Amino acid sequence: MDLLERIRRHEIKLGVIGCGYVGLPLALEFAKAGFSVVGIDTDAEKVKRINQGESYILDVDGKELKNEVEKGTISATENFSVLKGIDAISICVPTPLRKTRDPDVSFIVAAMEKVARYLHPGQLIVLESTTYPGTTQELVLPMLQRDRFKVGKDFFLAFSPERVDPGNPVYNTKNTPKVVGGVTRRCTDVASALYQEVIDTVVPVSSPRVAEMVKLLENTFRSVNIAMVNELALMCHKMGIDVWEVIEAAATKPFGFMNFYPGPGIGGHCIPIDPFYLSWKAKQSGFEPRFIELAGQINSGMPAFVVSRVADALNDYKKSLNGSKILILGVAYKQEVNDLRESPALDVMELLHRKGAQLAYHDPYIPTLSLGDLELRSKPIDRGRLKEYDCVVILTSHRLFDYQKIVSESTLILDTRNALKGIKDKKVHLL
């Protein structure tokens, strides 16, 4: 029986390398569909918690995970030798940037070295880690294809970009369309068949390069448009115009406009990183990606602008930033998540600390935080506590925040997210 037929019968064993924000939700979806799934991760703590049925990802229901663990459909290990008995492998490892903004594909290379060691006929390998166009065919394929193993015949290789939006209450792994591009047509068919068993909509494309570019386009689109509205915010501040009112009015147009909002910067595992993968690859091809570079400059400059706004607001109250007690509300990169990756709050806090501010923070999802030489713990904002601070800076909005209380009890507020929309008070300063 060939691999396609075994996929349709749910008789294959699936391996997911990398059990983070992408890998664990994917593994759970396959397990819920009746597949036998093994999560493979070098983090012993993650492996232990999965095998105990404990979720460490907010988007993964702990009860669902525990149920599948108890049924025996999902388990985890640090031992890559299990790949000998795996029929299909999804690779969901990190792809960060180096300080020089060059792609760091070392995690992909390390994972593929393990896969190559245990590669056997009839195996499907799908890379999901965001990367530059050409990675699958130029880097991964040569590591796997040997004299006795031909792609599309003896094994199957494809790229399918992850589309995870942490904390999104509407879209999840199952109902977010999945783009799939195989090295050969047969590779695309086999990979698509696998994902069709657990994901509502699968979108086949002609090649891995197209699939890789799709992911980068999606997040470059967001980066460039966020940069545009951030620049608009800087412009409106100079001109004495409320940028939030401008956006709200523009959004009434029923065509040709899409809402993007300014903020203290961009964060997360995609938008601050992915466009520079594309930029790097474009430069390798002799093309200068000016929009991407300019967007990066504007977005990376927003934390400094926030700090300048804090200093100006304090100055209006005849206070110096140096020595002032500043409370940061929300340090995760977006609302309702416990994700600090690339969070602009870290840059804002670092700049404030350098200028002598006495820092504290409150975030219901981040109990502790290391910031250089500072070890901070989330402070409660019980009644009366807010008056202790010279300025409260809202960097992430949360439904758990009592904004009426925050306004009534604070001395001064800088709201970078327009979280206090509808609450007017002269002590409130907008970005």
Amino acid 333 reads Y
- Does the annotation count 391 as an active-site position? no
The burial of 198, by beta-carbon neighbours within 10 Å (0-12 exposed, 13-18 middle, 19 or more buried), is given as buried
DSSP result, 286-349: T---HHHHHHHHHHHTHHHHHHHHHHHHHHHTT--STT-EEEEE--SSSTT----TT-HHHHHH
For residue 102, give the nearest of 280, 296, 271, 283 by alpha carbon: 280
Crossing angle for the helix pair 302-316 and 290-300, nearest 10 degrees?
30
Asked if residue 431 lies in contact with residue 415, where contact means CB atoms within 8 angstroms, the answer is yes
CA 289 to chain CA centroid, nearest Å: 23
Asked if residue 205 lies in contact with residue 180, where contact means CB atoms within 8 angstroms, the answer is yes
Report the distance separating Cα 334 and Cα 332, nearest Å. Answer: 5
Q: Which two tokens stand for residue 259?
A: 């809402």
351's torsion region: left (phi>0), alpha (psi -120 to 50) or beta? alpha
Report the distance separating Cα 53 and Cα 51, nearest Å. Answer: 5
Report the distance separating Cα 261 and Cα 282, nearest Å. Answer: 28
Report the distance separating Cα 49 and Cα 311, nearest Å. Answer: 44
Instruction: Give me the catalytic one of 19, 92, 187, 270.
Output: 270
For residue 363, give the nearest of 322, 329, 320 by alpha carbon: 329
Active site residue ranges: 270
